């Protein structure tokens, strides 16, 4: 199994290009199921999650062609053309869905277009149990009959889905996406209250609008979707990855240096930039994105709680903790979105971090220096937090289970090497 080897202590300097957002690209690919015309997506990142979803969609009958897979083009991502001219199967099997929860999103579009679907329950994962009850209750309110049998959701809506008034008890990104897609071609109007307002939801909404959907309220907590008879194909560019952006901001802050992040947007990051600035990290908008610098002066601890957008994202919590491990002073980091997203803590402690956890809050007492160690993580964002720690640490860090990183960070070792980091992938 591949590993990443890092010799820490090098400053990062130069520029890197931020990729298209994984968590926008995945639902956008699923949206191709809503029309018999081709949907073309540009700036799709080269990641295993994307290939796995492509495999699931191909199994449903979507014809997928891909350009820009070469090395040079990889810098700006691939162009995917997805054509669901005829849906040949309405079944998403366990072997594929279990590998990636986002594939559960196919259920809404399949039900809306084909009036039936059989999709494996995704099951839990390392960061928590992650049920799909909100997705299912929403679809039931829209007229679907749902039966759970042998680990599968059997859903049908013989007369088609109809509009409904849905109030989520808490914010769910995936349930908002699933119902927004289904409602686009349901009969009548759907209102989703307490909807998610993440930039990836807005991106999906813009693409659906370009396909002919009638959606109001994008970026707010209330979405109104008036179903239309049919959607058409379109071309859409995936928005930049705010989580990758935040990750590199924190990597530079941890290792020191000055880097321009090209092709990204400050407005996608919600409260992240002000928080890092309050800790003493310099971030400046540029024509091409933003520049982050930490030269000499050390940064201070912060208190932060993960929240739905525009609050601090759970997908950057582990990276922030790695950064704060060497801050001046104490940080309190509370995780409110997932019940088990502190698996990076024991690994950071093996590198010398001083962290205690009580309930959902980690108290991080900044230490002078971390030291390299062999480490491993059980999810994507935790793995990258160990890379950040390794860049700032003295000595050698080996990060095991690299396949987690390949799910969500495009060519991470190449990007960091280009900035002067001593990092390489060790095969085997
Ligand atoms: C999306 O997951 C992201 N994934 C996650 O990124 C991200 O951490 C999460 O949103 C929160 O921002 C993708 O976009 C592909 P939720 P999602 O539904 O949609 C509970 C990464 O590292 N819940 O907003 O699955 C759920 O268990 C990944 O890129 C229910 O209880 O997240 C969680 O505690 C990890 N019932 C909370 O809601 C439901 O029916 C928020 O989950 C649905 C969710």
The per-residue pLDDT for range 19-59, each reduced to its tens digit, is 999 999 999 999 999 999 999 999 999 999 999 999 999 99
SS3 content of the chain, % helix, strand, coil (to 5): 35, 30, 35
Give the ligand 1 atom nearest the CA of 101: 25
Instruction: Give nearest CA residue, ligand 1 atom 37.
Output: 337
How many Å lie between the centroid of ligand 1 and the Cα of residue 370? 31
Any idea which of 19-28, 77-86, 162-171, 199-208 has the lowest mean pLDDT? Answer: 77-86
How many Å lie between the centroid of ligand 1 and the Cα of residue 132? 9
**How many residues make up the chain in this entry?**
428
Distance CA 338, CA 81 (A): 34
The reply to whether ligand 1 has any atom less than 6 angstroms from the CB of 38 is: no
The reply to whether ligand 1 has any atom less than 6 angstroms from the CB of 124 is: no
Q: What is the pLDDT of residue 74?
A: 46
134-174 confidence digits (pLDDT tens): 999 999 999 999 999 999 999 999 999 999 999 999 999 99
In order of 39, 96, 199, the CA distances from 236 in angstroms are 8, 26, 15
Q: What is the pLDDT of residue 126?
A: 81
Is the four-CA dihedral 243, 268, 305, 291 of positive or negative sign?
positive
Mean pLDDT of 260-282: 96
Residues above pLDDT 90, as percent of the chain: 89
How many Å lie between the centroid of ligand 1 and the Cα of residue 127? 10
The reply to whether ligand 1 has any atom less than 6 angstroms from the CB of 47 is: no
How many Å lie between the centroid of ligand 1 and the Cα of residue 296? 38
Which positions are annotated as active-site residues? 125
Task: Choose which residue among 22, 107, 168, 172 to substitute to test ligand 1 binding: the one with the highest number of ligand atoms within 8 A of its C-beta.
Answer: 172
Number of H helices, E strands in the chain: 15, 24
The reply to whether ligand 1 has any atom less than 6 angstroms from the CB of 270 is: no
Distance CA 64, CA 51 (A): 11
Task: Choose which residue among 23, 101, 269, 380 to substitute to test ligand 1 binding: the one with the highest number of ligand atoms within 8 A of its C-beta.
Answer: 23
Q: What is the pLDDT of residue 76?
A: 61
Q: What is the pLDDT of residue 124?
A: 67
The reply to whether ligand 1 has any atom less than 6 angstroms from the CB of 130 is: yes
Give the ligand 1 atom nearest the CA of 127: 35
Q: What is the pLDDT of residue 272?
A: 97
Instruction: Give nearest CA residue, ligand 1 atom 39.
Output: 132
Distance CA 361, CA 262 (A): 34
Above 90 in pLDDT, residue 409? yes
**Residue 243 tokens, joined:** 């989580």
Pairing of strands 145-149, 152-156: antiparallel
Stated as kind and residue range, the H or E segment containing 109 is helix 107-114
Above 70 in pLDDT, residue 131? yes
The reply to whether ligand 1 has any atom less than 6 angstroms from the CB of 102 is: yes
Q: What is the pLDDT of residue 27?
A: 98
Instruction: Give nearest CA residue, ligand 1 atom 28.
Output: 315
Above 70 in pLDDT, residue 71? no
Instruction: Give nearest CA residue, ligand 1 atom 27.
Output: 130
**Residue 10 tokens, joined:** 């090098």
Above 60 in pLDDT, residue 73? no
The reply to whether ligand 1 has any atom less than 6 angstroms from the CB of 134 is: yes
Above 50 in pLDDT, residue 6? yes
The reply to whether ligand 1 has any atom less than 6 angstroms from the CB of 338 is: yes
Angle in degrees, CA 287, 290, 294, rounded to 5: 140
Q: What is the pLDDT of residue 68?
A: 62
The reply to whether ligand 1 has any atom less than 6 angstroms from the CB of 136 is: no
The model carries a pTM of 0.97
Give the torsion through C-alpha atoms of 419, 420, 425, 426, to 10 deg.
Answer: 180
The reply to whether ligand 1 has any atom less than 6 angstroms from the CB of 323 is: no
How many Å lie between the centroid of ligand 1 and the Cα of residue 160? 27
Confidence of residue 69 (pLDDT cuts 50, 70, 90): low
How many Å lie between the centroid of ligand 1 and the Cα of residue 309? 12
Kindly write down the DSSP assignment for every residue of 349-367, as one continuous string: HHTT-EEEEETTEEEEE--
Mean pLDDT of 331-340: 95
Q: What is the pLDDT of residue 128?
A: 76
Instruction: Give nearest CA residue, ligand 1 atom 5.
Output: 315
The reply to whether ligand 1 has any atom less than 6 angstroms from the CB of 252 is: no
Above 80 in pLDDT, residue 383? yes
Give the ligand 1 atom nearest the CA of 49: 15
Above 70 in pLDDT, residue 72? no
287-331 confidence digits (pLDDT tens): 999 999 998 778 999 999 999 999 999 999 999 999 999 999 999
């Amino acid at each position: 199994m591949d590993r990443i080897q890092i010799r820490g202590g090098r400053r990062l300097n130069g520029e890197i290009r931020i990729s298209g957002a994984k968590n926008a690209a995945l639902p956008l690919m699923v949206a191709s199921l809503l029309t018999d015309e081709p949907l073309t997506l540009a700036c799709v990142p080269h990641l295993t999650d994307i290939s796995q979803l492509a495999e699931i969609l191909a199994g449903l009958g979507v014809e997928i062609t891909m350009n820009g897979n070469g090395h040079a083009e990889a810098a700006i991502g691939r162009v995917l053309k997805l054509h669901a001219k005829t849906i040949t199967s309405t079944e998403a099997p366990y072997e594929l869905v279990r590998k990636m929860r986002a594939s559960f999103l196919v259920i809404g579009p399949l039900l809306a277009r084909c009036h039936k679907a059989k999709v494996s329950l995704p099951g839990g994962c390392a960061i928590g149990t992650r049920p799909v009850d909100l997705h299912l209750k929403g679809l039931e309110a829209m007229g679907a009959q749902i039966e759970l049998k042998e680990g599968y959701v059997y859903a049908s809506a013989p007369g088609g889905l109809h509009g409904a008034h849905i109030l989520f008890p808490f914010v769910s990104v995936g349930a908002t996406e699933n119902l927004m897609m289904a409602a686009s071609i349901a009969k009548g109007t759907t209102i989703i209250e307490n909807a998610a307002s993440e930039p990836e939801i807005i991106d999906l909404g813009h693409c659906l609008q370009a396909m002919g959907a009638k959606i109001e309220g994008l970026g707010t907590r209330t979405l109104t979707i008036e179903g239309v008879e049919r959607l058409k194909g379109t071309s859409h560019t995936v928005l930049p990855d705010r989580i990758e952006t935040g990750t590199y901001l924190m990597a530079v802050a941890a290792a020191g240096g000055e880097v321009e992040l090209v092709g990204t947007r400050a407005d996608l990051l919600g409260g992240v930039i002000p928080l890092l600035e309050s800790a003493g990290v310099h971030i400046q908008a540029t024509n091409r994105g933003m520049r982050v610098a930490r030269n000499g002066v050390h940064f201070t601890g912060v208190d932060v709680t993960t929240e739905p957008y525009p609050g601090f994202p759970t997908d950057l919590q582990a990276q922030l903790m790695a950064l704060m491990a060497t801050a001046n002073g104490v940080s309190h980091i509370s995780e409110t979105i997932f019940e088990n997203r502190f698996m990076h803590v024991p690994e950071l402690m093996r590198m010398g971090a001083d962290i205690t956890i009580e309930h959902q809050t980690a108290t991080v007492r900044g230490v002078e220096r971390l030291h390299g160690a062999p480490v491993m993580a059980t999810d994507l964002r935790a793995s990258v937090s160990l890379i950040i720690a390794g860049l700032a640490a003295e000595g050698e860090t080996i990060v095991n289970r690299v396949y987690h990183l390949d799910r969500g960070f495009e060519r991470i070792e190449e990007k960091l090497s280009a900035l002067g980091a001593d990092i390489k992938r060790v095969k085997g």
